[in-house]
Amino acid sequence: MVIGVRVLRVAAMGVGALGGLSGATYKLLTDQSRRARLVIGVQEDPPPCADGFHRTDGVPDSPGEPLRFAVLGDSMAAGVGVDRADELPGVLLARGLAAEAERPVRLETHAVSGSTTRTLPRQVDRVLQDPPDVALVIVGANDVTSRMAAGVSAALLGVEVRRLRAAGIGVVVGTCPDLGAVRLLAQPLRSVARTWSLNLARAQRREVLRAGGVPVPLADLLAPEFLTRPTEMFSADGFHPSAAGYVRAAEVLLAPLCTVAGVWRGGPLPVLPRRSAAAEARRPTTRFVAWLNRSARHLPPAG
């Protein structure tokens, strides 16, 4: 995920749609965007790569016919935030798949930090050159920060899921995470990010189901723990998941992946929630907008 001052400033501009916010509130949001960018910094180095063969004990280059597993999407799919290859979400899931399938898994990572749904077709093109058995897609956070309309973003995702399914690939999509769980985004910017990310996640879910994929609501399943244990769940940059955060994400993604790969032996999947109680409790309301306007009146005029 790449959050820049420019894209968060655009997000701040969009808040006016929530209730006629003043210029002072706009200045507050853009100032918060700038401070968050300074704290997050620039991700200059890509995460480690551990593509290749894996099995349950982590020994690479295992013999036998492998199950091929591709990972597409943005920085969360790529594993930004960890330093060791064995902490990458793709590796965690490859080893979990290997344990369930009782055969090696060949991991192929196509995810690129900073990707949006508009750039996802390039990754899908590479995957379709030699289709794997199953693919995981995590994308959407950068669509939020670049203010792409949720309906447009979700529709583009649906097109790519259909392309993968037409090639016979089982597809699991981790829908947009709850950006409101990122504590370094100060209020009210954090609530704006939450609203947009949850709206996108709902739209993604509908399109993925229509396209024949399996959506997994990362915001619903992960946000409560990231909100209550931020020091443990976030990496040093305070934005991307830590090793523990990726472990938790892998735990909720593994069963759907095993199902679409045809190796699940643990019984039927539970019905996944569309929205968590924690997310509902933090949904912006007219009272929140009124609070913003009251706060804005106490700010000095923009110079």
Tokens for 95?
Answer: 């080893």
Walk across the sheet containing 105-109 and list its strands: 52-54, 105-109, 67-73, 134-138, 170-174, 214-216
Active site residue 240: yes
Q: Side-chain half-sphere of 98: how many Cα atoms within 13 Å? A: 26
- Backbone dihedral angles phi then psi of residue 108, each to the nearest 5 degrees: -130, 110
184-210 burial, b at 16+ Cβ within 10 Å, e below that, comes to bbeebbbbbbbbbbbbbbbbbbebbee
At 269, list the tokens. Answer: 């999947």
Q: What angle do CA 252, 213, 260 make, to 5 degrees?
A: 60
Q: Please give the Cα distance from 209 to 157 (Å, whole number).
A: 11
Catalytic residue chosen out of the listed positions 22, 235, 237, 295: 237
246 neighbors 81 (Cβ within 8 angstroms)? yes
75 labelled catalytic: yes
Q: Which among 113, 146, 240, 276 is annotated as catalytic?
A: 240
Q: Which of 75, 115, 153, 191 is catalytic?
A: 75
The 3-class secondary structure across 175-210, one letter per residue, is: CCCCHHHCCCCCCCHHHHHHHHHHHHHHHHHHHHHH
Catalytic residues: 75, 237, 240
